[in-house]
Amino acid sequence: MKRIFDPIHRFIELAPGEAALLDLPAMQRMRRLRQLGLAYLAFPSAEHSRFTHALGAMAIGTRAFDAIVEHDRGLFSNEREIAAQRRLLRVSLLLHDIGHGPFSHACESVLGKRHEERTEALLAQPSMRSRIEGLDLDPDDALALIVGSSPSRYPALRELVSGPNLDADRMDYLQRDSYFTGVVNGRYDAEQLLASLRLIERSGELLLGIDGRGVVALESFVLARYMMFASVYFHHTTRLFERILQDVLHELWPDPHALDPIEEFLRWDDFRVLNELNDRQSVAATALRERTRLYGLAAEFNAEHDLRAFEACESALRERFGDAGLWADSQSQLLHRLPLVLDEPDSRTVWVTGPAGIVDAREASDLIAKLSGRVYWRKLFVARSAGSIAEARAICAERLARL
């Protein structure tokens, strides 16, 4: 048994076969992929990697599975089935991020391939398959849990790995990102949420849900996600440098298809991208290397009803600074991936057990009902080369005063 110390989950234990899986180059590469991309330029301690997150997701996913078994052991055929599903869950969570490229989602938009496609290619490699099979598991079962594009024999496990609401991925990264950025907003009542997990039968499938006593913990979980998007993931400094990074990646990869072969893709990580900047003198490369803010924040709007104000300011700034001098950044996120209406076909929700039977989480919580749906973060940036940021802010203030 191998023990790894982690600041979030304390000691994380790995069986010999799991430790052997970690030794593969594709897994070790995740040490060189930052979990939060360029967020370290706004939060200097956000240097944690996808490698540590993978370990954390496995740790908290295992705790979730063990809590489910404790309450619903009778829903499993026997102890052998429990052990096999537990191994499958742990391996799938260790592997769930291996398809990410440098700076994660910024890389995807340039290369035109989602990380799930890379994951499929990586799990097809003989060395990877043999290590997974050495744990008496089918690699295709792990792929079905991670990618979620094909039916899985274990729908509850798939929810823990790649589900829309109660996945171990999110359970770990909220706590981990909060810890390493120093932003307390990502904390939620993890102990109570884990203790409340249940298997609930719906339409002939065993799905993941919670006991009614865990509704407040679920509320804290939903709120933590909103707070981290508002405070960290869509922070204006992070967004600013991600915009610059896009130009850098286009420079480095003029032909995105050159990275289609998985062997070539694996040669790239965050460190290599940054090292490549040393010999480049373009505006974008220099700005990213020297942390030069090419844009200044003129205004931001964090509510949908601000759309009229956003459009008014955008129009005024575009008139003054031109299309090349203005960058309108609009980000949106489903606060919790609950369907927008209760009768939406094929809706994926969190089911809650209680005295009245099994109900939708939005019926069990007014807070979750009000929070379900899409939220927006809109920002207006002005290129510093185009004019004064103070002037841009004054223009926005004057235009908003008219509304």
How high is the pLDDT of residue 32? 97
Tokens 């099994």 sit at which residue? 358
Question: pLDDT tens, 198-226?
Answer: 998 877 778 889 999 999 999 999 899 88
Residue 156, token pair as written in the block = 């509850």
Is the Cβ–Cβ distance between 123 and 129 less than 8 Å? yes
Give me the mean pLDDT over the 112-119 stretch: 88
**Residue 132, CA distances (Å) to 54, 125, 352 in order:** 16, 11, 34
How high is the pLDDT of residue 360? 86
Mean pLDDT, rounded, of the chain: 90
Please tell me which residue, 334 or 145, carries the higher pLDDT value.
145
CATH of 2-238, one of 3.40.50.10480, 1.10.3210.10, 3.20.20.70, 3.40.50.300: 1.10.3210.10
Question: pLDDT tens, 45-103?
Answer: 999 999 999 999 999 999 999 999 998 888 888 999 999 999 999 999 999 999 999 99
Q: Which residues contact 30 (CB under 8 A, 6 or more apart)?
A: 49, 50, 51, 54, 97, 98, 100
Give me the mean pLDDT over the 117-140 stretch: 95
How high is the pLDDT of residue 331? 81
Question: What is the domain partition of the chain in residue ranges?
Answer: 2-238
How high is the pLDDT of residue 335? 55
Predicted confidence band of residue 344 (pLDDT cuts 50, 70, 90): very low
